[in-house]
């Protein structure tokens, strides 16, 4: 994991929120924003794909365009992430800010290596290259069943949301497996609880990092 050179009052802090669609990542990101802003920290909330102008175009292609082959999909996510890290995440961390990303490398490992059944080693190597080895200090994996996730989704489903229950289960299990493999960084939280109960668990943990 890369060590950033910081010359500010606060050290940069990088957090990511992971999990399948519908688990409440954006809601918990706003709770985290309020928590850190109450400590007079500058907070940058971002997402993948779509955290930059280039990312918005890639997001549109990936989620709402024509079918994309699994390998091309993985490369597009990596391109988005490389630009995202270079122009948003790394500068914010070097300035001593808190960065909260709705999805990061774990999503590629779960969706492309898990759901799409590509090689985990290939996806990890591609992600390491795209980010220069930059990983979050903490990742919150919000876990939920297929039925509960679908019950929360509204609007027209995108390509990933339409992939079906087998794809969902492979992706969900990949998230849980990744969390077990990197238990020091990852915290798994049952997202079927109330928003308040989920936040209580994140809050108790993030207080130790702030």
Ligand-binding site membership of 19 (annotated): yes
Ligand-binding site membership of 50 (annotated): no
∠ CA 106-164-178, nearest 5°, is 20
Ligand-binding site membership of 5 (annotated): no
CB 62 within 8 A of CB 159: yes
Residue 182 — φ and ψ, nearest 5°? -130, 60
Ligand-binding site membership of 25 (annotated): yes
CA 167/CA 115 separation, integer angstroms: 5
Hey, is 88 helix, strand or coil? helix
Ligand-binding site membership of 22 (annotated): yes
CA 88/CA 97 separation, integer angstroms: 11
CA 83/CA 46 separation, integer angstroms: 13
Order of strands, sheet of 43-47, starting from the edge strand that comes earlier in the sequence: 43-47, 98-102, 13-18, 138-143, 186-190
Would you list which residues are annotated within the binding site for ATP?
19-26
Would you list which residues are annotated within the binding site?
19-26
């Amino acid at each position: 994991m890369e060590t950033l050179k910081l010359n500010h009052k606060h050290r940069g802090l990088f957090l990511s929120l992971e999990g399948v669609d519908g688990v409440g990542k954006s809601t918990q990101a706003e709770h985290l924003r309020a928590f850190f802003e109450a400590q007079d920290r500058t907070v940058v909330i971002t997402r993948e794909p779509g955290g930059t102008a280039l990312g918005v175009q890639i997001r549109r292609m990936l989620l709402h365009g024509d079918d994309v082959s699994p390998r091309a999909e993985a490369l597009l996510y990596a391109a988005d992430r490389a630009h995202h890290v270079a122009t948003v995440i790394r500068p914010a961390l070097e300035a001593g800010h808190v960065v909260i990303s709705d999805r990061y490398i774990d999503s590629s490992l779960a969706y492309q290596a898990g759901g799409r059944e590509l090689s985990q080693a290939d996806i990890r190597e591609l992600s390491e290259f795209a980010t220069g080895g930059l990983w979050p200090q903490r990742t919150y994996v919000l876990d939920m069943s297929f039925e509960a996730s679908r019950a929360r989704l509204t609007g027209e489903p995108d390509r990933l949301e339409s992939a079906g229950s087998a794809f969902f289960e492979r992706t969900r299990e990949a998230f849980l497996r990744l969390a077990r493999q990197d238990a020091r960084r990852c915290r798994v939280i049952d997202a079927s609880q109330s928003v308040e109960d989920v936040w209580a668990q994140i809050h108790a943990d993030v207080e130790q990092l702030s």
